Amino acid sequence: ARCAKLEELYRKRIRIFHSDHPENPTAKEGVAVVLNKQLVTTENANETVVVPGRALQVEVPMGRGETRNILCVYAPTSNGEIERCEFFHQISEFYETHRRVPRPQIMGGDFNNTEEGIDRLPMSNPDRSVPALDALKVEMGFKMLDGWREINPTDRCYTFQRGTGEAAVCSRLDRIYVTPNIFNFARQWQIEVPMVRTDHRMVSVQVTTASAPKRGKGRPVFPLSLLQDKKLARNMKS
């Protein structure tokens, strides 16, 4: 109901795809993909629920016959590494059994694990669910790349913090993976504080296509308000 209300309120601007928890839709889990109608075509966009409340794929038309398949994930954390392993295996099994569903070229969300020691403070051994995540990335094709880490191989930046002071634990839980081909058309990988209240930082990337038209500076436009300028009007007449 909230989704329908938002879409009605901003019907000229956004379209929302979402998958909620099957038993408790308003209190736990849930994933969503929001498309900005001013930036992308939403007319023929469609969704595929991979894991209810935890994994949702949206196919977005990019023009000239190209599409982008985006997988939004929210890995479990309550029951730890074993539950995460099962979750990543569950996604892999979905694509194995649904051959007609295209593999995603972009996979992003909260993975609730870290792949390398540098992504956690204090540093620790990689999460035991990482091999399952690696297998999933291979299943998607050519092993998807962690774009931010590829661009910043030695930098430290975290998206989640628990505790304060000496007891603080920081992790880069939120990541965006892309196929090698998409990586060549991706730029502006960022981790920043979002404009909404949340305990996570936002990761973002700008993705384009090989067929995208070249955009210049645009053409100059005469402000209509200047027509009321008497001095300008006299000069134009002369």
- The model carries a pTM of 0.86
pLDDT tens string for the chain (238 positions)? 888 999 999 989 999 999 998 888 888 889 999 999 998 889 899 999 999 999 999 999 987 788 999 999 999 987 889 999 999 999 999 999 999 999 999 999 999 999 988 999 988 877 889 999 999 999 887 689 999 999 999 999 999 998 888 888 999 999 999 999 999 999 999 999 999 888 899 999 999 888 877 778 888 888 888 888 999 989 989 9
d(Cα 13, Cα 236) in Å, to the nearest integer? 40
The predicted-structure confidence for 85-126, as pLDDT tens digits, reads as follows 999 999 999 999 999 999 999 999 999 999 988 999 988 877
Residue 222: exposure state from Cβ atoms within 10 A (0-12, 13-18, ≥19): exposed
pLDDT, position 213: 77
pLDDT, position 53: 94
Cβ contacts of 21 within 8 Å, gap of 6 or more: 27, 28, 29, 30, 52, 53
Nearest to 156 by CA among 216, 201, 91: 201
- Locate 141 and state its tokens: 């094709």
- How large is the C-alpha radius of gyration of the chain? 22
Q: Which regions of the chain does DSSP assign to beta strands (E)?
A: 14-19, 31-36, 46-51, 55-63, 66-74, 106-110, 120-121, 145-146, 160-162, 169-171, 174-178, 186-192, 202-207
d(Cα 168, Cα 189) in Å, to the nearest integer? 26
Distance in angstroms between the alpha carbons of the first and the last residue of the chain:
62
pLDDT, position 163: 87
pLDDT, position 90: 96
User: Before 122, cis peptide (omega within 30)?
Assistant: yes
Nearest to 107 by CA among 78, 146, 77: 146
**CA dihedral defined by 58, 157, 155, 83, rounded to 10 degrees?**
-60
SS3 assignment, position 197: coil
pLDDT, position 227: 83
d(Cα 161, Cα 173) in Å, to the nearest integer? 10
**CA dihedral defined by 73, 105, 117, 150, rounded to 10 degrees?**
-140
Nearest to 102 by CA among 135, 61, 69, 54: 69
Cβ contacts of 36 within 8 Å, gap of 6 or more: 13, 14
pLDDT, position 107: 96
106: left (phi over 0), alpha (psi -120 to 50) or beta: beta
Residue 123: exposure state from Cβ atoms within 10 A (0-12, 13-18, ≥19): exposed
